[in-house]
Structure 1
Amino acid sequence: MFISLAEEGEGRTGSESSFAKDVVLAGRDANECDIAFDRQQFPMVSRKHGAFHWMNGVWYIEDLGSSYGTFLNGERVSYPRELEPGSVVQFGENGPKIRVISFEPGRKAEPVPAAAPPEPTRNVPAPPPSAWDSAPRVQVSVPPAVAQKPPQAGTALEFVSDSSRPAFQIKSASVWLGRDPSCDVVFDASSATVSRRHAEVRFENGQLLIADNNSFNGTLVNGQRISGVRPLASGDEVQLGSGGPIIRVHAGAAAPPKPPSSPQFRAEDTGQRTMVLKLDPTGGLKGADPAAAELILSKAIPEGGAITVGRGEGCEVRLDGLQISNRHARFSRSGQGIIVEDLGSTNGTFVNGSRTAKQQIVTTDVVQIGSFTLRVDAAGTLGVFDARSKTRIDVMAVSSDAKGRLFAPTARLIDAVSLSIQPNEFVGLLGPSGAGKSTLMEAMCGVRPATEGSVLFNSLDLKSHFHSLKQSIGYVPQDDIIHRELSVYRTLYHVAKLRLSKDASAAEIRKTIDEVLDVTGLADRRDLPVSKLSGGQRKRVSIAVELLTRPSAIFLDEPTSGLDPATEYRIMQLFRQIAESGRTVVMTTHAMENVAMFDKIAVLMLGKLVFFGPPEEALKHFGVATFRELYDKLEEPVEREAADRPTADRSVIAGGVAETWRRKFDSTPIHRQYVEEPLKQIGAVGASRAGKSSRLGMFGSIRQFVTLSRRYIEVLAKDKLNLAVIFLQAPIIALMTFLVMGAEQPRDFVYFILAIVSIWFGTAVAAREIIRERPVYRRERMFNLGIIPYLASKLFVLGLIVSVQCFLLFGPLKFFDVVGLMPMPGELFGIPQLWATLLTGLIGVALGLFVSTIVRTSEMATSLVPLILVPQILFSGIVGVPAGISKVVGLTMPSSWSFDTIKRFSTLDTLEEAGADINGPTKGLGLYKFIETENDKLIEKAERDIENYKRLGPDGIAPGEPDPLGERLKVPEIKKVPSDLSGYITFLHPWMSDVLNQLVLMLMFLILVFSSLIALRLKDLK
């Protein structure tokens, strides 16, 4: 195919340009568009404005969501319009015009529906593997090896939600549905629930079938979400995402009969990975609440055999979702019963809320894999239930207490709150500051479990099943849970690597991210750093992070706080859209401007539920005209009673008023309709217990460590100026040390610099690294983040940085030694000293990370660094041989052990007797003591000579005889301390040694790392 185009202007036609490709993009982006316009000359042209695309032998022009529109022969284009030679396309009002000169002729195509913008690439990529090739076959039994025939005449798709759109006649064996221009049935950008290539309708073996293409919002047939391939019959209604466009099937004469609609099925094998659906007269799979979950497929486990569950092609039961591994679990059956075995999956297999490696199960057990619930019946049939679009949340008498400081009494933050949130509802938690909104939300999503009461997700207790349910829960706290240094795409990419299955391919991850960006409206911001986004856009990124795992319930804590009214409205529209796409959305807010967008609201006052129901009912209940008056209405009795009783405790008055409001609500029909009646369906709930925490295992920990390290390196690398300052510190300090270090002074100071500065390097660079990303850590920890790989990634990356700093410090100092400018002796060219410096730097990193785990703010961490370093200086031994209490305290200081180690590796003798080498030139006395001892020997000898002379006396010498003491009575030459002491150090600790010092330093490193792990774990328990 090809098309020839020419720019039209001022009554003339410019030179022609020919394109031999499916899609020709036009816009301002010269890197992406085939036809690029100058931004200054044509400001009305968008970055990607429009596209000429070829489909079914016909060329079309479509608008790509531009700001100023695309016009064909003067008429604005709202859906793809067919082109003819001579057609004139204008990009924006008063914008540039393109004339179609000629194109490859083709057959007349069926009318093409509205389309959305194509992928941001210059060419439309080849279609991905068919959903047919990757979906589990669930079909009515048909004879094998039937030759494929085209669909019967009259087989068509009717657009129920868009009656103005003509029906699509199915004339080929495969029809793709989606927003991508390459699809056969194309939906425009306003159909936000539709993925780019959403689903495939196929005519195979004489029957019409549909397969979901792992779409973001799923595909529903007659209101039930499908997983894999589903037969279609005339009259079936296909919905592309909950709340999305609906298509009615009109099948020809050869269409198969409509399959049973009852959720109770049994399965019989008709071939590999093929099942025949039949009604189960015994109702064997009655585990799940039909209102909450639906049986999407079942499979008989053969006696003495096994079936595999996973995402891969070789599995007998295939489930969609990138949280599910290719080979996730195996169900085997023997005479002893049915055993479920996890096959090394990334996110685990859970039985009754606890992660398991291998376990025997019975009919009452609930097995959870990703967002799917699996059960077995007495006949050995495995049923798979799907509640992704039907998540119900029941809160039953939930209370939360907060311990007071010291002897302060316990405070009740929320008090016996009960409510029921139905599937796909958008619910707001309202109330003034201190009402308990965030506390209730944290109890509902498991961040801080309630002290009393129960929270149920589709009748599963959250506390008991938290580790399996958390994969289906999205939580966006008030603080951003993203690294602002990264681009939007890279932020999502690293989260996907952490949360999705380890065997998810790069293409699958890219597709998921693209769809999330489309849903959140961030597709045109994908390559921008998060730091350059507006507040509303940053919040959208936080939401996109949670949507990656396609949660069935999303909790948002004050997501619109600090946003302007227009941005707040757009964010609320996004939440409304997410709820309509098949998710239950709960958010806290104190803003009242957009309350009407909620399906229901829960109003709290001092932890008590004073209303739950539709927003319009709240106005009637409280007797106010607008939601802005609601809080004032709640506080009126408090103000009135406080004025009447000025000496009374205001908090006591407010508590009494809140209790009055609650009792009033409890007695209303609204309470019975929206709280009592729904909770009666649940019945009594037994005491909940915490499920066993899931473990990553060795390989899972290694995978997380690699991902976290890569992300951390990328985050740090974005701030190049800060890295430059960090690495320039070391050579500057080395130069200053050279300037102040005298050539004839003892070498202690230069070794002290190596020890103390390496500790400072590590502590300073690490002290804020955990506390500053505390919101990110908490959210990832809630999902599946392991403490050990998280801390190990920090140690590894920061250890690399500090190691480079130590090299840059040691290198120049050694250079000055080699060229003779400043002696710094060391054995083996100083390599052992460098090792000691590196080890000390790592201890500094561990010390800094420990500080970062125990403080509450980054400012506190910064303030603690000097308090840590000053004792390291004072008790290092630089001021002299320690004694008394300073000796004891010095034993706890890494600097003391490091300083002594570096000095020992210098092989220099000491000035003081402490630590002197007995085999050295001073014979274990130290220079000062050695000289003193030598001089004492000379003096003692002189004294003996004098005494001998006195004994001889003047008469003892014959005349003319030589004086036998004459030579010996000369004044001896006294030894002096040399002026050049560069060959000495002051002292070494007698109780230390080369090997012991290194062992102690490594032990200190391990103790600090272990202490950090404990501190992080204790914060999890708070």
Structure 2
Amino acid sequence: MKIVLTGVDTGLADGEQKAFEQAAISIGRDANDCDVIFPNDRFPMVSRHHAAISRETEGWVLTDQNSSYGTFLNGERITRSRLTVGDVMQFGPNGPSMSVVSFEDRPASIPDSVLTNAAAEIRFPDNPQQHAIAIGQTEITFGRDPQSTVPFPANDRIVSRDHAAIVRVANGFVLEDRGSFNGTFLNDQRITAPTPLTHGDKIRFGTGGPTAEFFAPSQRSSFENSLANERIAHLTQNAAEFQNFTGENKTIVARLGQPVGIAKNNVEPQLLMSVAFGEKHELVIGRAPTSDIRLDGLDISSRHARLKLSGGQVSVEDLGSTNGVYMNGAPTTSSPLSPSDSVQIGQFLIKIDVAGTIGVFDTRARMRIDASHLARSVRSRGGRSQLLDDISLTVQPNEFVGIIGPSGSGKTSLIHTLSGASRPEAGNVSVNGRDLYREYASLKHSIGLVPQDDIIHRELTVYRTLLYVAKLRLSRDVSRAEIDRTINEVLDVTGLLPRRDVRVSDLSGGQRKRVSVAVELITRPSLLFLDEPTSGLDPQTEFSMMELFRQIADSGRTVVITTHAAETVRMFDKIAVLMQGRLVYFGTPDGALKAFGAANVLELFGRLESGDNGSLDAAAERYRQAYLASPDFRQYVAEPQSQAPAAVVSGQRTKRTRLGIFGSIRQWATLSRRYFEVLLRDKLNLAILIAEAPIVAFLTLAAVNPKGPRDFIYFMLSIVAIWFGTSIAAREIVSERPIYKRERMVNLGILPYTASKFTVLGLLVAVQCILLFLPLKVADIVLPGTMPGEFFGVPQFWATLLSAAVGLAIGLLISAIVRSSQMATTLVPLVLIPQILLSGIFGVPNNVSRPLSMAVPAAWSYDTMKRFSTLSTLEPEGATPGDATDGRGLYKQVEEENDAILTKARHDLDEYQSKTETKLRKYDDDRNAGLSPPRPDLDEMPAIPNAKKIPNDLSPYVTFLHPWMNEVLNQLVLMLMFGVLAFTTLLVLRIKDIR
């Protein structure tokens, strides 16, 4: 057999390949003994006899020959490792490199099909004490479950309880991952589907996990040297070659050679497979086993996207996926592809070359962060305070990095900037050369962020918390069984499996923080950021939490945390030391102690807090300048930054993927179910909310004057409905702001979120309104006239619901605006008091109160209640012609009737007086004339009628109605107020989102 290599620095022309047929190839600077020679003057990091490539039973093997600076395979230092096509070998840090182009096909005497009935066993080269295990007729399983065929230690959290299995099929063996949390690797390639095995295959259970070797000398095939995931395509192309294989893939595999588009090294994505269209015109990409290109993330839909070939042009089309398709960082539904384009689906990249060959790459476990000249400031009394002052650093893949420093040094600002939660005023952050802020929408599935505040609802159980997170973040077509398996894996990794059905509120502080971590691990991000995750924990819990984070980093993730914990600093691979917003050190923990001349971490913290008893600002600048001149700065910042991946610039800032109508409805339903469950589990608060409505109703009946006008009861109906809505909603958004902000960063839609609040709170307030209205209406039936209303009070109940809805909108707007629950509680009275003062309960609005009342929902609601009562008014304002008062109001009616009575009485008296005086004058005249007239017969004095009085029972009346209002207009205005308030709430959330 022969091996074909190409090298960047071996003297070969660019892209030139060289074949070696000997069984052993020596590499080094010795011109006499080495087959591959690196000049001494150019490559001092290469030893004389640095490494060797040899042909062994299991294939071609790279071995380090005790070199001074080490041998690296795909970025990881090795002593001995099997080679596969596409591997990159590097000799010493920053030394020359070569890559494997291909191997010679095996001798023609070996059949093309997989040899059958071969004895096979699993060996454990890294654990000599472990005996080889023969593979029987069915399967062998691997995991931490004691019932597994190959059980791993219970404390080896990188391995899942049921991690993987080797299954014997008719003509060979396949390796399948059982949905493990950290994945299963075949020859350092993560498998995405059941994959055929061949002799010498190296199996790894999770990144950095234990390994095993498939040993079956007669079990060889024509795909022996192909990438693991390409074997699926090879075999499923010919059903006769591998019977009982479940795949139905018909994809044709491209000729193996240089990886398509992206060089394979420790930072660049891992090449999973190389495929071509062959005779097909489209390739379906998705999670389903029948997909042409199968990807295994649960954030990927079963039929996620497809590649189409038409007229020599390849295009990508989104098939209505949950989490979208991104081309060059921007969401797309359909776009043509060129060799310079990259398509991202979940944490996978897809590229094509000029020949139309498609490369599928896995970015998991290969995420690098480069921060350059970050600066951020805030306003303060003295001007502006610098939170971040020109900070640059590089976090390599799979590193565990701590950010330490005194309080106020900028730790939270830095981790929020690195994670994309906030943007700096200057500088930039890139992830594998991609602008984090511009392309955040396409990178968000690779990022997990655990803020200081809990991002969980304490009323739910641990399982229900993760279930709702999974429903919100994973693909909508993921089955409940897949979700449950993922949740159990995450609980197992975080050590919460025994607490699965315990309410979060009943957990300890450390366990609650583990739940927050579990929330982020649901989507299996490659980058995990944690802000003060051990704050407030006891030393033992703090240590166990740090062990968990160390384990997560070891499982193939990049973990960055802020911490004050001095005792656990040595667990980090690197630490970033901040002081006064400046980076005063970045490197190893031991290097930090040496740089500051501190004997231990506590002494280091003491110096950072005291500033050597001088100005903290001056001390911070002095420390920074010393670090910038140090070798550690060159090693850990300057050199990595100079070697950072070339920036990939997309033409525009990435927009969020639109949820669409069905996606929004699905998210609304999930959020509503979760919120409803949260409210139901808080039984005491729910009981108080339910009980307060009938209590208010009975108190209202007790306080109302049975013979007084009905204003008070309608006023209470109106104002209490608004109060119910406002008070119940005023803290709902602000109280769960950490949860909202984190879910918003992932895929939460503002409209579904707000709609879920209106839905659930609306139902609860509706129940309150029913319990408020019913006692009052029952009282009206028992004691007629208590609360009159037409059509059995149905219109008044509708007005009550409408008033409560407006109150609900007011409350949610308050909650969206304020920064704390305390502020929301303070604002509620300031909103409700004007409702009382300007509603009209104190009389007819006049002067300035009249236009002000038109802006108050209670005025319109109160007027609506009174109008639907059909009662007459006491005042003339709003009196209806044809009613009992003839449109004058009782007071005016009585006044006018009394005026009429008085006028008539005065007229009668005047007439009586005139007649009497006439008679008396005639009598006097007759007597003066000497006559003897009889005494005049005087008429009876007219009776003076009593004035009409205001009746003692005014219950058939209300005081007044607003003359500029009416039943229809009132309802329209209340609906308009609700719409404007709801829209303003959405607008406020959107503005805060942009800021």
TM range (shorter): 0.7 to 0.9
Call closer, same or farther: CA 1:264–1:797 in 2, change over 3 Å.
closer
Between the aligned partners of 2:635 and 2:456, the Cα distance in structure 1 is: 40
CA distance in 2, matches of 1:636, 1:901: 67
Question: Residue 1003 of structure 1 corresponds to which residue in structure 2?
Answer: 976
Given the two structures, how large is their TM-score scaled by the length of structure 2? 0.83
Closer, same or farther in 2 for the Cα pair 1:430/1:977, shift >3 Å?
same
Q: State the match for 2:359 in structure 1.
A: 383
Deviations 1:563-584 (A, max 9, x none): 1111100000000111111111
2:145–2:161 contact (8 Å) kept in structure 1: yes
**Counterpart of 2:959?**
986
Contact kept? 1:160, 1:245, Cα under 8 Å: no
Q: Please report how far the alpha carbon of residue 230 of structure 1 lies from its aligned counterpart in structure 2 after TM superposition.
A: 3.4
8 A Cα contact 2:226 2:256, kept in partner: no
Q: What residue identity is the alignment partner of 2:603?
A: E
2:644 and 2:362 mapped to 1: Cα distance? 19
Aligned to 2:487, which of 499, 513, 516? 513
Q: Is the 8 A contact 1:207 1:256 kept in 2?
A: no
What's the counterpart of residue 701 of structure 1? 664
Q: Deviation of residue 609 (structure 1)?
A: 1.6
- Aligned residue among 280, 295, 298 for 1:319: 295
* TM-aligned CA distance change 1:687 to 1:323, over 3 Å: closer
Aligned to 2:216: 251
C-alpha contact 1:353 1:465 (8 A) present in aligned 2: yes
User: What residue identity is the alignment partner of 1:392?
Assistant: R
**Aligned ranges 1:38-117 → 2 under 5 Å:** none
Letter of the 1:222 counterpart:
N
The residue type paired with residue 656 of structure 1 is A
- Give how far 1:816 is off: 0.7
Partners of 1:594 and 1:217 in 2: CA distance: 25
Q: 2:447 aligns with which of 465, 470, 473?
A: 473
Query: Are 1:800 and 2:763 counterparts?
Result: yes
- For 2:720, the aligned partner's letter is V
Mean alpha-carbon deviation: is it higher for 247-256 or for 763-772?
Answer: 247-256
Match of 1:547 in 2: 521
1:353 maps to which of 311, 322, 329: 329
Q: Give, in angstroms, the shift of residue 396 of structure 1.
A: 2.0
SS at match of 2:401: strand
Provide closer, same or farther for how the CA distance between residues 694 and 413 of structure 1 changes in structure 2, counting only shifts above 3 A.
Answer: same
In structure 1, the residue matched to 2:641 is 679
- Give the distance between the partners of 2:850 and 2:312, measured in 1 at CA: 68
**Counterpart residue type for residue 184 of structure 2:** T
2:262 counterpart of 1:286: yes
Distance 1:192 1:853, change over 3 A: same
Report the counterpart of residue 661 of structure 1 in structure 2: 623
Find the residue that maps to 1:870 and give its secondary structure: helix
Aligned to 1:441: 415
Aligned ranges for residues 573-584 of structure 1 at < 5 Å? 573-584=547-558
Give the gaps of 5 or more residues in structure 1. 1-138, 643-649
> Deviation of residue 629 (structure 1)?
1.2
Aligned-pair Cα RMSD in Å: 2.9
Deviations 1:157-212 (Å, cap 9, x if unpaired)? Answer: 11234322211111225333223455433334223122233223234464443222
1:530 aligns with 2:495: no
State the distance in 1 between where 2:751 and 2:602 align: 48
Q: Deviations over 1:640-690 (max 9, x none)?
A: xx3xxxxxxx4xxx3333222222222222222222222222266477863
1:366 deviates by: 1.9
Question: Does 1:409 find its partner at 2:376?
Answer: no
Distance, in Å, in 2 between the alignment partners of 1:501 and 1:733 is 46
For residues 288 and 778 of structure 1, what CA distance do their matches in structure 2 show? 36
Q: Secondary structure at the match of 2:430?
A: strand
Query: Per-residue displacement from partner, 1:812-861 (whole Å, max 9, x unpaired)?
Result: 01111101166210000000000101111111111111111112221121
Q: Are 1:1013 and 2:986 matched, yes or no? A: yes
CA distance in 2, matches of 1:193, 1:848: 47
Asked whether the 8 Å contact 2:316–2:334 carries over to 1, the reply is yes
Superposition deviation, residue 637 in structure 1? 5.4
Q: How many angstroms apart in 1 are the aligned matches of 2:390 and 2:562?
A: 18
State the secondary structure of the residue aligned to 1:410: strand
Count of residues paired in the alignment:
866
SS in 2 for 1:770: helix
1:828 to 787, 791, 816: 791
Structure 1 residue matching 2:850: 3-state secondary structure: helix
Distance of 1:966 and 1:513 partners within structure 2: 107
3-state SS, counterpart of residue 399 of structure 1: strand
Matches within 5 A, 1:597-676: 597-634=571-608, 638-639=612-613, 642=614, 650=615, 654-676=616-638
CA distance in 1, matches of 2:739, 2:774: 38
Question: Secondary structure of the residue that 2:123 maps to in structure 1?
Answer: strand
C-alpha distance 432-258 of structure 1, shift in aligned 2 (>3 A): farther
The answer to whether structure 1 residue 498 and structure 2 residue 472 are counterparts is yes
Question: Is this contact kept in 1: 2:121–2:134, CA < 8 A?
Answer: yes
Instruction: Choose from 200, 206, 220 the match for 1:235.
Output: 200
Structure 1 residues 262 and 819, CA gap change in structure 2 (3 angstroms): closer
Of residues 1007-1016 and 628-637 in structure 1, the stretch that sits farther from structure 2 once superposed is: 628-637
Question: How far off its partner does 1:763 sit?
Answer: 1.3
Q: Give the SS at the match of 2:812.
A: helix
Q: What does residue 270 of structure 1 align with?
A: 237
The TM-score, its normalising length taken from structure 1, stands at: 0.81
Q: Is 1:586 aligned to 2:560, yes or no?
A: yes
Deviation (angstroms), 1:968: 9.6
Aligned counterpart for 1:162 among listed residues 122, 127, 132: 127
Deviation at 1:876, TM superposition (A): 0.7
Contact 2:189–2:227 under 8 Å retained in 1: no
- The aligned residue for residue 340 of structure 1 is 316
Correspondent of 2:140 among 152, 169, 175: 175
SS of the counterpart of 2:736? helix
Question: Structure 2: which amino acid aligns with 1:435?
Answer: S
Q: Tell me which residue corresponds to 1:560.
A: 534
2:339 matched residue in structure 1 = 363
| Residues 928 and 977 in structure 1, CA contact (< 8 A), matched pair in contact too | yes
Supply the distance in 2 between the matched residues of 1:889 and 1:206 (Cα, whole angstroms).
Answer: 85
In structure 2, distance between residues paired with 1:309 and 1:264 = 14
2:118 corresponding residue in structure 1: 152
Q: Partners of 2:820 and 2:622 in 1: how far apart?
A: 40
Q: Which residue does the alignment assign to 1:100? A: none
Indicate how the Cα distance of structure 1 residues 554 and 878 shifts in structure 2: closer, same or farther if over 3 A, else same: same
Q: What's the offset of the Cα at 1:258? A: 6.5
Q: 1:188 to 1:579 in 2, by over 3 A?
A: same
Distance, in Å, in 2 between the alignment partners of 1:964 and 1:555 is: 115
What is residue 919 of structure 1 aligned with on the other side?
A: 882
SS of 2:377 mapped into structure 1: strand
Letter in 2 for 1:703: R
Q: Which residue of 2 aligns with 1:29?
A: none
Residue 123 of structure 1 corresponds to none
Q: Does 1:933 align with 2:896?
A: yes
Q: Which runs of 5+ in 2 are unaligned?
A: 1-104, 239-247, 924-932
Q: 1:262 to 1:203 in 2, by over 3 A?
A: closer
Instruction: Determine if contact 1:619/1:627 at 8 Å carries over to the other structure.
Output: yes
Contact 1:260 1:278 in 2 (8 A): no
Q: For 2:279 and 2:968, how far apart are their aligned partners in 1?
A: 63
| Cα distance in 2, alignment partners of residues 968 and 250 from structure 1 | 135
**Deviation per CA, 1:844-885, whole angstroms, max 9, x where unpaired?**
111111111112221121122222211111111000001011
For 2:941 and 2:463, how far apart are their aligned partners in 1?
A: 92
Paired residue secondary structure (1:555): strand
Q: Deviation at 1:986?
A: 0.3
Question: Is residue 451 of structure 2 the alignment partner of residue 488 of structure 1?
Answer: no
Q: Which moved more, 1:286-295 or 1:908-917?
A: 286-295
Q: Distance in 1 between matches of 2:520 and 2:214?
A: 34
Query: Could you tell me whether the CA contact under 8 Å between 2:193 and 2:229 is conserved in 1?
Result: no
Query: Displacement of 1:789 after TM fit?
Result: 1.0
